Amino acid sequence: MEEANTIAALRGHVAARRASGRSIGLVPTMGALHEGHLELVRRCAEHVDDVVVSVFVNPTQFERAEDLAAYPRDPDHDASMLRALGDTAPAVLFAPSVDEIYPAQPRVTVAVQGGLIEGLCGASRPGHFDAVATVVTKLVNLVQPSLAVFGRKDRQQLQVIRQVVADLNLPVGLLGVPTVREQDGVAMSSRNRRLDAEQRGRARALCRSLVAAVDVAHAAREAGGPIAVADLRAAAMEVLDAAPGVVVDYLDIVEPDSMQPGEPEVASDARLVVAVAAEVGPVRLIDNVEVGDPDDEDALLRAVAPI
């Protein structure tokens, strides 16, 4: 694995590989890597010859300075986790400084318009998705990969990036990889390491609330449908309301493409994203499930075994 801290070094490594006919994939991350990130790398490696992993804690996508300062950073551990992937280890680890990516205040940035960012994290984190769209566009331009891979845990982010690629005609394919969960069902996140043992236990309420929503959808299907969106919400909220120390930011139920609320009642096979964000202690956590996607539902139900 080659390591590059500068754009010039990154471009050199990538150009040499491309010149020898190798296809390139990109896995953008903010470091503090965990098994979920490694899964993104493995999935990327299934489709391309050489994977570039970027590790860059993008300051512009944090609304609060405390959140940026507290974001976990562990560069040596990141590099050794990636090396330990062996055959599927990335060809290049790109870990630039903030000055390398933003040598001056940018005068041109990407702005995401409309309904896609009206709800969920777009509503509670103003400017966040513009900053994500901008840095992802920069990374894609730097690496020029044929494929870029993102986790489905950040479901709205994935949708925003799909829109960026479509609207700006970026010549890159996208792959969304299912959420990887801890043994107790909690979605893997770099932020989990900031939870103490009690908070970590409480964090389980998020995935349990999603299971409650999936159970309602299953019951509606067994009864011959349709699914009442209010029933999904009520079941999920009941779990969250009963959870001590979990401060809900949102529990939104939206259509997967538009990320906007749809009809109050949907056919039993309709797809809906149930997405939750909550503060647990000092940490804001998110999770989601796509109701109507059998793989996503099953993966959640398998991971969140009843206690």
Binding mask 254-283 for ligand PAF (x = CB under 6 A): ------------------------------
CA torsion, points 153, 154, 155, 160, in degrees to nearest 10?
A: -160
Note whether 23 and 50 are within 8 A (CB).
yes
Taking the complex as a whole, the smallest distance from the CB of residue 56 to ligand PAF amounts, in Å, to 6
Size of the site for ligand PAF (CB under 6 A): 10
Among the residue ranges 25-33, 202-210, 251-259, 272-280, the one whose residues contact ligand PAF (CB under 6 A): 25-33
Choice from 4, 14, 26, 30 touching ligand PAF (CB under 6 A) = 30
Note whether 274 and 255 are within 8 A (CB).
no
Tell me the DSSP string of 59-119: GGG-SSHHHHHHS---HHHHHHHHHTTGGG--SEEE---HHHH-SS--S------SGGGTS
Nearest Cα residue to 277 out of 66, 124, 63: 124
Choice from 29, 159, 199, 209 touching ligand PAF (CB under 6 A) = 29
Taking the complex as a whole, the smallest distance from the CB of residue 287 to ligand PAF amounts, in Å, to 14
28 binds ligand PAF (CB under 6 A): yes
Taking the complex as a whole, the smallest distance from the CB of residue 231 to ligand PAF amounts, in Å, to 31
Helices (H), the chain: 7-19, 35-45, 65-70, 75-83, 98-101, 120-124, 128-143, 155-167, 197-202, 204-222, 229-241, 294-303
58 binds ligand PAF (CB under 6 A): yes
- Judged by beta carbon, residue 135 or residue 276, the one nearer ligand PAF is 135
179 binds ligand PAF (CB under 6 A): no
Catalytic one among 13, 37, 77, 218?
37
154 binds ligand PAF (CB under 6 A): yes
Residues 6+ apart with CB under 8 A from 228: 220, 264, 265
Q: What pairs with residue 147 in β-bridges? A: 25, 173
55 binds ligand PAF (CB under 6 A): no
Which two three-digit tokens encode residue 20? 């020898």
Note whether 66 and 58 are within 8 A (CB).
no
Catalytic annotation on 218?
no
Taking the complex as a whole, the smallest distance from the CB of residue 164 to ligand PAF amounts, in Å, to 11
* C-beta atoms surrounding 184 within 10 Å: 15
Which two three-digit tokens encode residue 22? 């190798």
Binding mask 157-176 for ligand PAF (x = CB under 6 A): x-------------------
Taking the complex as a whole, the smallest distance from the CB of residue 150 to ligand PAF amounts, in Å, to 6
Choice from 26, 101, 136, 227 touching ligand PAF (CB under 6 A) = 136
Could you give the residue numbers annotated as active site?
37
Site residues for ligand PAF per CB under 6 A:
28-30, 58, 61, 132, 135-136, 154, 157
